[in-house]
Amino acid sequence: MGSDAQARIRSQELWENRSVLAQSSPLHPRLHLDLARARRLAIAGQGLLVPPRPVDGRALIGLVEQIGYLQRDPLAAVAPSHLIVLWSRLGRFDVSLVNQALWQDRILFEYWAHAASIVPTSHLGAHRWAMRDYGRSDRVSDRRLRDWLSANRALRRRILSELDQRGPLSARALGGEARIKLASTGWSQERDVERMLFDLWVRGKVAVSGRDGRGRIWDLTSRWLGTDAATRAGSGRTTEEMTVRSLRALGVGTEIQIRQYMGAGRYRRLAEVLDRLVRRGEVVPATIDGPAGTLPGLWYVHQDDVRPDAATR
């Protein structure tokens, strides 16, 4: 019997097991996974099970939407990290497809997701609430940031005015200094404009509209992605949307892993959201049986990933 057939049979058994558990405990049915199946779910969620095939723009965008983001690292020992991630899943592909999606079609854009990343523009609404909430906590670092921003409103206004009047510019072309310096561990020391641009970027006021080598070219978000995109609010179910996207990209994960996957620390009341998704039957709690016994913690799987027809996802 082929591996695909075995996977379908195993998935059918898992789905039937879920049904039995659901009858005995309707609020929190537990799906029992062996380690091999849990690993397969994780690999599938990351798009690593699909064999290489001819790649067009639609396939590339579909993959980025599935895994949620491509981390963009300026270091490139072999190749830029986002291209390595794509190659490991798609095989050989035309790198110009990425540039076209970013700088021409604008189906992808750069934003701070897990870190500096490339994310689907279709997910912008889900990131909008993070843009609104950035820097508003009671943490000491956020209080210091608010004080720094308050003391340097003139620099902020100058940057936005320059971009508005002159169009896309690099940080070097903008110039300027802060009146009050922000305490730094070294990464942003004496880089006032870059630090202010980062704040405006995470808040959704400016966007990366190009690259000059490794450096970013900045523009107003309202001009780069459109006025509607720049002002569009996330829906009331934003945390649910982000939770589902993260879980499906993980394949199987704990609450902590879901919280950290995309937009670390930005989920509101994640435990309540997961409980609500479980009660609706969209997410299934699971335990994973390892070689030394049950793995610690409560794990979650999206219902669509344990249906019989999802075995080869």
Would you say residue 27 has pLDDT above 60? Answer: no
Q: What is the pLDDT of residues 267-297, one digit of tens each?
A: 778 899 999 999 999 999 999 999 999 999 9
Whole-number average pLDDT of the chain: 85
Predicted local confidence at residue 23, as pLDDT: 34
Q: CA geometry: angle at 122 spanning 308 and 125, to 5°? A: 110
Give the rounded percent of residues in the chain with a pLDDT score beyond 70: 82
**Greater confidence, 133 or 183?**
133
Between 35-44, 51-60, 159-168, the lowest mean confidence (pLDDT) is in 51-60
Predicted local confidence at residue 7, as pLDDT: 46
Q: What is the pLDDT of residues 192-222, one digit of tens each?
A: 999 999 999 999 999 999 999 879 999 999 9
3-state secondary structure of 253: strand
Band of pLDDT at residue 54, cut at 50, 70 and 90: confident
User: In CATH, which of 1.10.10.10, 3.40.50.2300, 1.10.1740.10, 3.90.1150.10 is domain 129-231?
Assistant: 1.10.10.10
Q: What is the pLDDT of residues 78-134, one digit of tens each?
A: 899 999 999 999 999 999 999 999 999 999 999 998 789 999 999 888 888 788 888
pTM comes to 0.83
pLDDT (mean) for 143-162: 94
Q: Distance (Å, rounded) from C-alpha 74 to C-alpha 228?
A: 30
Strand partners, 34: 289
Q: CA geometry: angle at 302 spanning 289 and 258, to 5°? A: 80
Q: Which two tokens stand for residue 23?
A: 């009858």
Predicted local confidence at residue 13, as pLDDT: 43
Predicted local confidence at residue 255, as pLDDT: 94
Between 26-40, 149-163, 206-220, the lowest mean confidence (pLDDT) is in 26-40
Predicted local confidence at residue 231, as pLDDT: 60
Domain locations in the chain?
A: 3-46+251-310, 57-126, 129-231
Q: Which amino acid is at 173?
A: A
**In the chain, what is the straight-line distance between the N-terminal and C-terminal CA atoms, in Å?**
19
Q: Distance (Å, rounded) from C-alpha 169 to C-alpha 162?
A: 8
Predicted local confidence at residue 235, as pLDDT: 56
Would you say residue 310 has pLDDT above 60? Answer: no
C-alpha dihedral over 2, 7, 10, 14, to 10 degrees? -170
pLDDT (mean) for 263-269: 69
pLDDT (mean) for 152-177: 94
3-state helix/strand/coil string of 137-193: CCCHHHHHHHHHHHHCHHHHHHHHHHHHHHCCEEHHHHCCCCCCCCCCCCCCCCCHH
- Tell me if 304 sits within 8 A of 310, measured CB to CB: yes
Would you say residue 300 has pLDDT above 50? Answer: yes
* H-type alpha helices, the chain: 3-24, 35-45, 57-67, 81-90, 96-99, 124-133, 140-151, 153-166, 171-174, 192-202, 221-224, 227-231, 238-250, 255-261, 270-279
**Greater confidence, 54 or 186?**
54
Range of 151-155, 180-184, 258-262 with top mean pLDDT: 151-155
Give the rounded percent of residues in the chain with a pLDDT score beyond 90: 61
**60 half-sphere exposure, CB direction, 13 A CA radius:** 27
Q: Which of 105, 108, 79 is nearest to 93 (CA)?
A: 79
